[in-house]
Chain A
């Protein structure tokens, strides 16, 4: 049924997760005194035996009333999320593997089977009666000012611990009695997992290493806003349901280590059940007609298909056409076929090229007199969508204008070449050269420089430039003027004509 990889017990391979009962810290969080002593033996009996001792106090600290946000790896359901969580238990993943066992419920040294001191409580936000985790000193938590509020009992704390700030919430005793886990249940609600994801994300668990997990004990069955609280149960062991000092009639003050909210959607059907139900979904009133999983077609009932017309209609409906009423441009009311882009068959891409108007794309069947408006509608929708987007329209305009300029340039070059050919009988090679490179500069360069060696080869011809200094002879351009002419946008023949004939041109 499920895809499973069997494995042997051993060291964690890649992609494996190991669950551990608990990881108890070798030194619980307390004050310790380390002392060392040394004696010297083997001395002569009349000498005093020296004895040396040294003591050192140290404290093993662990979170007690506050939890750093880095201690929490992740929470589920994800904070501020919306979804169907009605079948899930909320849980918190902590980065320190021994954290849930670092303290005890009754502040005494931990036995080997002591339960964890944290729990996840899940409340509907409206059950909280407007209680929220509020900031107060530990002093106020242990000894609440209000009369009917009970806090943690039997804790020994130093003065500086009492002055610490923490978050605490007051829950109604009835609510607490309903939702809190019993003391004998706490052992099941916390465990440790070691993960070797080998860098891959499996099921959203993408961090390697050791984590401790504290699971809640309540399902968010109904929809609505929920608040999940990770609370410290230190000193509250007797207050838990089934304990010896369950408070009633007032409130209980709990230290909140972390809290988050989420929203459950209103219904509580399973995802896989809903998807499986698609397989049995039938048309209303007709249990044999399964309509859950189909190709996208117009449903129809045609008990008999005998005439040609019926066959045609059936074929059209089978390949995705839908008959829709149409008002033609001359006012006539008719029915025509329409098929959107989502079709139940594979179509071949045609090369009928860009249509100029939407009406060009209307197809007509002269045998039946029915139009097919599909592509005309598509064309029109495309046009309307483009018109509604000014940025696209601007980009189109710019692109087109750029293309027009290029086309103009191409046409101009062609005409220039054609005229040059008519004006100067050129050898074939030069004509080819010009034909290949449409650049105006090439033509001018040819005229200015390449013709020159030809002319030079003829006797008695010296280049004007060689004969005369750069002067004001018409038609003889110094080199820099030539450059300027090349760079400007002037048509060479126009320019030549204007130079020759002056302002009054024939």
Chain B
């Protein structure tokens, strides 16, 4: 290099414009800035607050008492500062500072691009087609025994109350045994957030209310009650247990046939749900004892909590085959 002494200001100006030129050229080339993918992915993880100490997220314990849910938005300025701090390591000269200054916006754009694709990448799934880059990130923190008792708990968010426009899930994690942290991104604020019991296979069981076991009554395809349809009045049937109930063994015979309890046969016949000509058998018992997973919607701008819902079922009954 032909050395020449020149004023520092000139040198810096030249350095600055040469660096800027390079990144401007890269922009015009359309390849997207030449930020290497591992760096962009690492910064996307940082943007989604992986590894950030919990005291920095929630400064005071009184903000998150037990059995509460707290909704929030992500302050993009805060996460941008995180990224800038990460880019500042190893700087030892003005040259580094100049580079950080000119590469800053390119780095920010690369992290914006990698952010909505990170979750699909971590789970080895294909990238989402309509990922929103640099959009509004909203989320919630749920501290509850529901999180520790149901490890597969799920969450969904929608921008409309009819639940047609979903938001993209960016992160769902348990920060501790009973604390669920969830982030969504999209074009608008979430109007409805659903927290769901983990999806199980169609299974059978009871509802335990105050130590007694009950089953929701469902129609059997007779008398105007569609099969599988939980009765609108939410009536429930007591399920008998053997002995004092501590062993949990269901007294199936009495639950079905007892007249004093009353059992399924009597209750359903009295309500006109069971056709007196058919016998109550294994299929009917299975339909009555079906349990589906529950979900709880939270709606934006609504004063009181909407009631919990059961996930929908579609089935009907036949006799012997």
Contact = CB atoms under 8 A, between A and B. Distances in A.
Interface string B50-86: 0111001111101111011111111111111111111
Nearest to A347: B75
Given A2-B230, A217-B249, A17 B73 contact: no
Interface in A177-192: 178-179, 181-182, 184-185, 187-192
B158 to A, nearest CB: 15
Interface in A200-234: 202-205, 213, 215, 217-222
Interface string B74-106: 111111111111111111000111011101100
A445 interface: no
A299 B234 contact: no
Interface in B265-321: 281-287, 289, 291-296, 298, 304-305, 307-321
A267 interface: yes
Interface in A459-475: none
Given A203-B199, A270-B207, A274-B146, A295 B72 contact: yes
Interface residues on B, range: 35 or more
A84 B18 CA distance: 63
Interface stretch (A102-110, A128-136, A383-391): A383-391
Contact of B18 (A292, A379, A410): A410
Given A20-B319, A322-B59, A385 B86 contact: yes
A378 B2 contact: no
B239 to A, nearest CB: 9
A6 B195 contact: no
Most buried by A among B46, B95, B189: B46
Contacts of A393: 89-90
Interface string A265-281: 10111111111111101
Contacts, number: 419
A358 B314 contact: no
A340 B18 contact: no
Nearest to B249: A218
A354 B253 contact: no
A296 to B, nearest CB: 4
A383 B201 contact: no
Contact of B63 (A277, A281, A298, A397): A298
Interface residues on A, range: 35 or more
Contacts of A338: 59
A384 B1 CA distance: 38
A294 interface: yes
B88 A296 contact: no
B304 to A, nearest CB: 7
A215 B286 contact: yes
B199 A354 contact: no
A302 B84 CA distance: 37
A391 B41 CA distance: 12
B205 interface: yes
Contact of A267 (B145, B205, B230): B145
B202 interface: yes
B195 A179 contact: no
B226 interface: yes
Contact of A279 (B80, B88, B199, B304): B304
Given A277-B67, A375-B81, A399 B316 contact: no
Given A271-B294, A386-B89, A392-B39, A220 B56 contact: no
Contacts of A2: 229-230, 309-310, 312-313
Interface string A17-34: 111111110000000000
Contact of B81 (A84, A213, A379, A411): A379
Contacts of B195: 275
A6 B221 CA distance: 10
Chain B interface main SS type: mixed
B208 interface: yes
Contact of B60 (A18, A298, A345): A298
Contacts of A384: 85
Contact of B2 (A187, A265, A419): A419
B90 A203 contact: no
A272 B141 contact: no
Nearest to A13: B314
A12 to B, nearest CB: 9
Interface in B236-275: 241-243, 246-250, 252-253, 256
A361 interface: yes
Contacts of A386: 85-89
A270 B35 CA distance: 49
B250 A17 contact: no
B190 interface: no
A332 B70 CA distance: 34
A296 B58 contact: yes
B77 A347 contact: yes
B68 A378 contact: no
Interface stretch (A141-149, A159-167, A401-409): A401-409
B206 A83 contact: no
A491 B1 contact: yes
Contact of B250 (A89, A267, A349): A89
B59 A203 contact: no
Given A6-B229, A19-B315, A20-B318, A346 B77 contact: no
A342 interface: yes
A422 to B, nearest CB: 12
7 contacts: A203-B313, A218-B248, A268-B208, A338-B59, A340-B56, A354-B87, A385-B52
The 4 A-B pairs with the shortest beta carbon distances in the complex, nearest first, are A382-B85, A279-B305, A275-B296, A272-B308
Given A2-B313, A272-B308, 10 more contacts: A2-B230, A18-B317, A89-B206, A184-B253, A187-B281, A275-B146, A296-B58, A354-B87, A358-B85, A392-B39
